[in-house]
Amino acid sequence: MARDGTAPLERVGLVGCGLMGSGIAEACARAGLDVVVVETSAGAMAAGERRIDASLQRAVRAGKLDEATAGAARGRIHTSTDLADLADRHVVIEAVTESEPEKLEVFTALDKLVEAPDAILASNTSSIPIMKLAMATQRPSQVVGIHFFNPVPVLPLVELVTSLLTSDTTVERARSFATEVLGKHVIRSKDRAGFIVNALLIPYLLSAVRMLESGFATEEDIDTGMVKGCAHPMGPLALADLIGLDTTVAVAQSLYDEFKEPLYAPPPLLLRMVDAGLLGRKTGRGFYQYGG
């Protein structure tokens, strides 16, 4: 037990094994934690497992892990399609699609299922106010935002987002979990749509889309300008493809709903691309083509 009488956060649950959920699961397993990941179907779970396996093998090829360490980490990740298998977890991190109704449904269910009275219920949301999710539970003081960045095993940053009702104990436990257990660098954010990073990043991405939409410059020239002229590791349109254009729209819409500022409004081109299923890297085509 910790000095405050709470259990150490050793058993981790993940809801969702997409791009972010699989990365969080891997990071937790590599830190020596016991991980249970839940997906909605066997097919979605199999895709998530392939993503984890591929990521671990990349780490081995890059010399970041040896085969034995990667195998041990993989052995700590258990999978399920039943939320009830998260009942014994000390911390559960929701990482489903960036949809407020879906996230609210998950938090309502977790509140009824997770047994430990001091368990932390966290969201990896990149934009939805934590207060909304907390009020879907009977334990709002134990709900917090722990927002990771993709690729989770590589990028060191975590945004820790607290609502008006998040307790000091929950804040300290979540901070300690992210920094001391996972080795991440934590920045603290107030509970407002977009938090710190996306409140700055999304208008930048949308501005690039508007520049392309207006015919002012090509995709390649926009991205090359920021990479070669501003030393960004990736141009804004390539970055939007990496994030996922559907996720970019969802975050932008959340920001616009809260602040009603035009710079947050998704441009028509971006909306049409999402309607067409051109979501970026995960579908093989966005602003650029990927794969064969």
- Tell me the per-residue pLDDT of 11-43, one tens digit each, with 9 for 90 and over: 999 999 999 999 999 999 999 999 999 999 999
High-pLDDT (> 70) share of the chain, %: 97
Residue 6 has pLDDT above 90, yes or no: no
Our answer to whether residue 159 is catalytic in this structure is: yes
Q: How confident is the model at residue 5 (pLDDT cuts 50, 70, 90)?
A: low
Residue 4 has pLDDT above 90, yes or no: no
Higher pLDDT, 197 or 291: 197
Buried b or exposed e, range 137-148, using 16+ CB within 10 angstroms: bebbebbbbbbb
Q: What is the CATH number that goes with domain 11-189?
A: 3.40.50.720
Residue 127: its pLDDT value, please?
Answer: 87
Give 251-287 pLDDT, tens digit per residue.
999 999 999 999 999 999 999 999 999 999 999 999 9
Q: How confident is the model at residue 236 (pLDDT cuts 50, 70, 90)?
A: very high
Alpha carbon distances (Å) from 264 to 201, 204, 207, 208:
10, 9, 9, 12
Domain ranges of the chain: 11-189, 197-283
Q: Pick the catalytic residue: 55, 124, 127, 198?
A: 198
Q: What is the CATH number that goes with domain 197-283?
A: 1.10.1040.10
**Mean pLDDT value of segment 96-113:** 96
Q: Pick the catalytic residue: 90, 147, 163, 254?
A: 147
Q: Pick the catalytic residue: 126, 127, 163, 254?
A: 126
Alpha carbon distances (Å) from 262 to 20, 206, 259, 267:
28, 10, 9, 10
**Mean pLDDT value of segment 100-115:** 97
Our answer to whether residue 150 is catalytic in this structure is: no
Q: Pick the catalytic residue: 159, 189, 219, 254?
A: 159
Structure tokens at 125: 């949301």
The CB-side HSE value for 286 (13 A sphere, CA atoms) comes to 22
**Mean pLDDT value of segment 89-110:** 96
Higher pLDDT, 3 or 224: 224
